[in-house]
Amino acid sequence: MSGDQEQSARLTRREMLKTSALAGAGFSLSRLGFDREWLLPGSVCSSKVPASAGTMMEVKFRGYDTVRVGIIGVGGRGSELLRALLPIEHIQVRAICDIVKEQVLIGQKAVTDAGQKEPHGYFRGDHDFERLCSRDDLDIIYIATPWEWHVPMALSAMRNGKHVALEVPAATTLEDCWALVDKSEQTRCHCTMLENRCYGHHEMMVLNMIRDGVFGNILHGETAYIHRVHGLPVVNEGEGLWRNFPHMKRMGNLYPTHGLGPLARYMDINRGDRFESISSVSSIARGLALHEVARMPAGKSMRKACFGREINTSVITTATGRTVTLQHDIIDPRTYDRLSMVVGTKGAFRDYPPMVCIGRPEQDAWTTLDVYKDRYEDSLWTGVRGCAGNPCRHGDMDSIMNRRLIQCMREGLAPDIDVYDAATWSASGPLSILSMEKGGAPVQFPDFTRGKALSLRA
């Protein structure tokens, strides 16, 4: 069977699975492939389960009436997550931890303002999160702390029998990516990553279109994180306290998952395909220096000798022969962009503004994504009004992401983003650094699924 024939056979089988979902007015991701009807047992997730090396792929949550939540880190991002969680029915925020007591107090007030009982506060230093993790009345722990804390906190949560919802990137080294996979498999606790860009209005709609074969056989994607977060003077609060430092030590793509997550889902990564290799190069660094000369008093910049390279570009290949370009630029003057281009044999999508091109060469023309809205807008977005602008507001996708995660937990579904996705998408960071150290030579992705990713080809 040729590649194209094989792909159309896959699509046909998929389409059969989806016929009933398509019959309704809305098109729902929740009915399209993530909650496959595989009869795997619900996740036990307990500190008492014996060691097990079984996969966590497609393992369903056991089903919860009320989801009891703890949160570690309520700075900029943790506070946003808390705001997105509180309006959701059937959740209780039981515990909040941050090293800054005032942040905990603000979080506690937000919870009581929402009509819930005051959550217990933990603010006795760097390791007080361990007391939160050891509580026996939590089902899932959200973690929104600086990167270096993600893995120790997630491991502690799983060791204590709690599911984990971890901010991006889940981990910054390959060893830590494996540590998350191993611990999740041993404890049967899920470790999902809070990649909110997978829940954007356009991303969900394009995924529904891809799954319905609108773009044909997917061949290539182009994505990026272009966000001038470090084009500002050094700040002494919030993430400015920590987010510059990793860039002083490491050169490569340190924030890959916002772009890569949605593309990985378009390409069935870990569900029939897998990322195989990455080659990464970076441009010379001139922009930050220019900026600093203009703004910083002489000799005052702590970043002057750092950020040795500026715009990082990687090429990723997949096991079935697809390609991805992934860029990272947090310094130079461009408007916020993730590019979000995906190209298939029948058409292409690209974002900012969202445009679709479908058809034969003589018909080539970009049309607005809106044309496809009636048929392909995900039902999770139906009635969400905040999306008139472009791109959709952060808060809307955060709200959809959290609703979906709580839905999976309550209804006993597998999480959309599992520990293998968290590890694979995050691993592109350290692998880009490794490739740069080898002069841009390709380096191989580990197969965190231990061989299962390709066995899932439909």
Please give the residue ranges that form the binding site for ligand NAD (CB under 6 A).
72-78, 97-100, 103, 126, 129, 144-147, 149, 167-168, 194, 196, 238-239, 241
Give the residue with the Cβ less far from ligand NAD, 72 or 110.
72
Q: Using alpha carbons, list the distances in angstroms from residue 74 to 82, 146, 255.
A: 8, 11, 20
Paired with 323 in beta bridges are: 220, 317
Minimum distance between the CB of residue 424 and ligand NAD, rounded to whole angstroms? 17
Residue 87: CB atoms within 10 Å = 11
Minimum distance between the CB of residue 96 and ligand NAD, rounded to whole angstroms? 10
Strand order in the sheet with 309-318: 367-368, 355-358, 347-350, 341-344, 218-226, 323-329, 309-318, 275-284, 443-444
Give the residue with the Cβ less far from ligand NAD, 236 or 455.
236
Minimum distance between the CB of residue 167 and ligand NAD, rounded to whole angstroms? 4
Give the residue with the Cβ less far from ligand NAD, 129 or 445.
129
Residues near 406 by Cβ (< 8 Å), separated by ≥ 6? 67, 85, 88, 90, 91
Outline where DSSP puts E strands in 307-445. 309-318, 323-329, 341-344, 347-350, 355-358, 367-368, 443-444
Give the residue with the Cβ less far from ligand NAD, 7 or 79.
79
Long-range CB contact pairs, 46-49, < 8 A, 24+: 46/161, 46/187, 46/188, 46/189, 47/159, 47/160, 47/161, 47/187, 48/161, 49/161, 49/186, 49/187, 49/188
Minimum distance between the CB of residue 216 and ligand NAD, rounded to whole angstroms? 31
Q: How many alpha carbons lie under 13 Å from residue 67 in its C-beta half-sphere? A: 30
Give the residue with the Cβ less far from ligand NAD, 255 or 445.
255
Q: What is the spatial distance between Cα 309 and Cα 296, in angstroms, rounded to a whole number?
A: 20
Q: What is the spatial distance between Cα 33 and Cα 15, in angstroms, rounded to a whole number?
A: 11
Minimum distance between the CB of residue 95 and ligand NAD, rounded to whole angstroms? 12
Give the residue with the Cβ less far from ligand NAD, 167 or 222.
167
Give the residue with the Cβ less far from ligand NAD, 203 or 212.
203
Minimum distance between the CB of residue 381 and ligand NAD, rounded to whole angstroms? 18
Give the residue with the Cβ less far from ligand NAD, 402 or 424.
402
Minimum distance between the CB of residue 457 and ligand NAD, rounded to whole angstroms? 30
How many residues are listed for the chain in this entry? 458
Minimum distance between the CB of residue 99 and ligand NAD, rounded to whole angstroms? 4
Alpha helices (H) in 43-173, listed in sequence order: 76-85, 101-113, 129-133, 147-159
Give the residue with the Cβ less far from ligand NAD, 76 or 359.
76
Residues near 170 by Cβ (< 8 Å), separated by ≥ 6? 150, 151, 154, 177, 180, 191, 193, 257, 422, 423, 425, 426
Minimum distance between the CB of residue 398 and ligand NAD, rounded to whole angstroms? 8
Q: Which residue is nearest to ligand NAD (CB)?
A: 75
